[in-house]
Amino acid sequence: MTDSSQTENGENDFTKALSNVFGFHGFRDNQEDIVRAIVSGRDVFAVMPTGGGKSLCYQLPAYLLDGTCVVISPLISLMKDQVDAAKVNGLAAEFLNSSLDSAERTRVSRELSAGKLDLLYVAPERFAAPGFLDVLKTVPISLFAVDEAHCISEWGHDFRPDYLSLSRIVSEFGDSPVAAFTATATPRVQDDIIDRLTLRDPHVTRASFNRPNLSYQVVPKGDVDDQILTFLSDRKDEAGIIYRTTRKSVEETARELVRNGVNARPYHAGLEDEVRKANQEAFNRDDVTVIVATVAFGMGIDKSNVRFVIHADLPKNMEGYYQETGRSGRDGEPAHCVLYYSRGDIPKIRYFINQMEDDAQRATASGKLNEMVNFATVNVCRRSQILGYFGQTLDAGGCTGCDVCSGTVDRIDATREAQIVMSAIMRTGQRFGAVHVTDVVMGANTQKIRDLKHDQLKTYGAGSDRDKQYWRGIIDDLTAQGCVVRTDGEYPVLHLTAAGREVLFGRREFQVLRQREVPKPARTRRKQAKQIKQQITDFDRELFEQLRTVRRGLAQERNLAPFIIFSDRTLREMAHYTPTTPVEMRNITGVGDQKLLQYGGDFIQAIEAYLSGGE
């Protein structure tokens, strides 16, 4: 551990450590300001997207400052990878959680008490355990880093009661700065986190939620397993995550993929612990290409080379969707996010929402679901909707990374169809739901329609030239664009809004989005690559594959995930610049002093052998 105040170069301490320890030649946006604030002893609150470099913001101060940085995180399954990654960079790091046996816990506690640790990762349950704070008070603490800080807010999408104990940090350890990090927090959640942690005049960073390397696409859901197989046919060697809502659908999709030759495994809470852990490890270590999972999967994943995330069912809220899609492209390279949308998913989610006993929580969850439906159906740039949800706007450069903006979705004038539906809603007294309104529009011969004499209405049968799915889609579009609202309750009915009446009486047009064709993934990736700074695209692909083989062998020998040794991005730089000396290798992004010492020789040897033709 180095006290930054005693080094010779003053202002260069941060960049020197960044290069020597982590192998990076410059900070990403916001990182340096956060590091400087922490090192100066100031509290920090930072909203940074997944893959935005949050861990470096506390690991670099942990290296520079005397004492131990205590990292509080709910991600028990991720802690080993985080500790392994810190260790290969030369930091003294350990974790304390329920996965350790008593001998390992004793060893880690002994190293903590001896002041030998730069980093200690603990779960909030451990932090709240009787006696643990007393142990921490006996050792120098450099700072507390609270990861996934949104878990402390009841307004967040993943509230965890165990996080409430973290409000004691400032009162018990007033001399240590506290840094809270999250990838997803609306302004309201941000204020709640700062208040609950009692942060003291914190340095606040709200990094852009824009992930320019991610492309977003929404596709009408049909036979979703067939749709997934078609998508994967162009991505045979790429790592990806497929999210399903239920354990049953996870198992069914995983079986279908395996039956069709895809190297896939399931992940959900119903699997035996050992099976679930083995499947996650296989994915982390590149032994499995695709993981099919419930949303329980992902918070324990730090894999940098996930090239796609598929949502085969509608997510419950935008926070969850953003966080889950953010697990792709952590290395900054292009990745594809596909949502297969069907209005049939909505009642399934509403059923669980209606089981909530607390009225406020139920209303909040219902509002969040409506936002998610809007995202999937409204004819507005997907990226701008995501940013707008988190209180931000799209940069002047615009977006070419979603289906709306890249020309794969058509905007169609559906004013007449909207007027037919809203006329039916009005003429039936705004007392019925989507099923009955659709039946009226289509001219269905039901007992209910006959009893209510709705077959005598002017709009009865006005849409008989279209099928039920089409008209239900128009109702979803009207709801998403604020022309129609659904009432709460077990049997929601449709009401017109002021905006809807503008369309109904011909004072404005109504447009809908319709998918023209599924874009070719390769073309999409090439478009994205042009927009990503310092993107290495002209590397030697054969050499890259050989370097991946070297990396995999080293990872297996050391029981590490391959990306901990070097990311795909680092290997691509090697395959582009072909370094054959330690000095040249040290100039590659991601190659710090310790990694050069441990692994540099193996990769230099592989590159030299390749350049000499294997002689």
Token couple for 428: 């039936």
Lowest mean pLDDT, pick from 337-346, 444-453, 513-522: 513-522
Q: Give the integer Cα–Cα distance in Å for 281 and 300.
A: 10
List the beta strands (DSSP E) in 13-172. 44-47, 68-72, 93-96, 119-122, 141-146
For the chain, what percent of residues have pLDDT higher than 90?
53
Does residue 388 share a domain with residue 257?
A: yes
Domain closes at, from 206, 238, 268? 206
Q: Give the integer Cα–Cα distance in Å for 556 and 92.
A: 22
Q: Work out the number of other CB atoms within 10 angstroms of the CB of residue 460.
A: 21
Per-residue pLDDT at 11 exceeds 60: no
By DSSP bridging, strand 178-182 and strand 203-206 are unpaired
Domain of residue 199, residue span: 4-206
Per-residue pLDDT at 250 exceeds 90: yes
pLDDT value of residue 113: 92
Average pLDDT over residues 550-575: 91
Does residue 338 share a domain with residue 299?
A: yes
Residue type, 366: S
pLDDT, tens digit, for every residue of 87-132?
999 999 999 988 888 999 999 999 999 999 999 999 888 888 888 9
Does residue 351 share a domain with residue 265?
A: yes
Q: Give the integer Cα–Cα distance in Å for 50 and 4.
A: 28
Lowest mean pLDDT, pick from 99-103, 321-325, 516-520, 546-550: 516-520
pLDDT value of residue 518: 46
Residues 6+ apart with CB under 8 A from 3: 64, 65, 66
332 in a structural domain: yes
Q: What radius of gyration, in Å, describes the C-alpha atoms of the chain? A: 27
CATH number, domain with residue 450: 1.10.10.10
Does residue 136 share a domain with residue 236?
A: no
pLDDT value of residue 296: 64
pLDDT value of residue 4: 41
pLDDT, tens digit, for every residue of 564-583?
999 888 998 999 999 999 99
Per-residue pLDDT at 531 exceeds 60: no
Per-residue pLDDT at 153 exceeds 90: no
490 pLDDT tier (thresholds 50, 70, 90): low
pLDDT, tens digit, for every residue of 43-66?
999 998 777 788 999 999 999 999
Number of domains the chain contains: 4
Does residue 172 share a domain with residue 81?
A: yes
Does residue 474 share a domain with residue 418?
A: yes
Q: Give the integer Cα–Cα distance in Å for 242 and 297.
A: 10
Give SS3 for 109.
Answer: helix
Angle at 278 between CA 275 and CA 282, to 5 degrees: 140
List the beta strands (DSSP E) in 195-236. 203-206, 214-220
Average pLDDT over residues 478-484: 84
Domain closes at, from 390, 408, 426? 408
Phi, psi of 352 (to 5 degrees): -70, -35
Does residue 151 share a domain with residue 13?
A: yes
First to last CA, the chain: 44
Domain closes at, from 168, 186, 206? 206
pLDDT value of residue 2: 44
Q: Work out the number of other CB atoms within 10 angstroms of the CB of residue 209.
A: 22
Per-residue pLDDT at 364 exceeds 90: no
309 in a structural domain: yes
Per-residue pLDDT at 379 exceeds 80: no
pLDDT value of residue 537: 62
Does residue 106 share a domain with residue 53?
A: yes
Does residue 49 share a domain with residue 189?
A: yes
513 in a structural domain: no
81 in a structural domain: yes
Does residue 82 share a domain with residue 193?
A: yes
Lowest mean pLDDT, pick from 49-63, 376-390, 522-536: 522-536
355 in a structural domain: yes
527 in a structural domain: no
Q: Give the integer Cα–Cα distance in Å for 33 and 204.
A: 10
pLDDT value of residue 489: 63
511 in a structural domain: no
pLDDT value of residue 488: 67
pLDDT, tens digit, for every residue of 389-417?
888 888 766 787 898 888 767 778 999 99
Residue type, 26: G
Per-residue pLDDT at 18 exceeds 80: yes
CATH number, domain with residue 181: 3.40.50.300
Q: What average pLDDT does the structure give for the chain?
A: 86
Does residue 100 share a domain with residue 59?
A: yes
Does residue 87 share a domain with residue 25?
A: yes
pLDDT value of residue 403: 87
pLDDT value of residue 6: 41
Average pLDDT over residues 196-209: 92
pLDDT, tens digit, for every residue of 421-463?
999 999 999 999 989 999 999 999 999 999 999 999 999 999 9
pLDDT value of residue 397: 66
562 in a structural domain: yes
CATH number, domain with residue 550: 1.10.150.80
Q: Work out the number of other CB atoms within 10 angstroms of the CB of residue 320.
A: 19
